[in-house]
């Protein structure tokens, strides 16, 4: 038998393939890719510019 060097990580999968960068770094629970940042940055972003003044 081969020695299990890395061991078996049995459990839940926390990362899947990212749709944007294709890396296996998309976090399922966080809904965010740790590689390219897809998911979190696509939702809401705070801008410094106030659009309220332009009227």
Q: How many residues form the binding site for Zn ion (CB under 5 A)?
A: 7
Query: Which residues fall within 8 angstroms of residue 23, CB to CB, at 6 or more apart?
Result: 17, 33, 35, 36
Question: Which of 1-9, 10-18, 43-51 is the region at the interface with Zn ion (rule: CB under 5 A)?
Answer: 10-18
User: Is residue 34 a contact residue for Zn ion (CB under 5 A)?
Assistant: no
The single residue among 15, 21, 27, 40 that binds Zn ion, judged by CB under 5 A, is 21
Query: Whose Cβ is closer to Zn ion: residue 6's or residue 45's?
Result: 45
32 binds Zn ion (CB under 5 A): no
CB count, 10 Å around CB of 26? 23
Task: State the chain's maximal CA–CA distance in angstroms.
Answer: 73
């Amino acid at each position: 038998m081969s020695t299990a060097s890395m061991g078996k990580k049995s459990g839940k999968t926390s990362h899947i393939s990212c749709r944007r960068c294709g890396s296996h770094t998309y976090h399922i629970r966080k809904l965010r890719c740790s590689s390219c940042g897809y998911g979190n940055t696509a939702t809401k972003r705070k801008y410094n510019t106030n659009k309220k003044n332009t009227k």
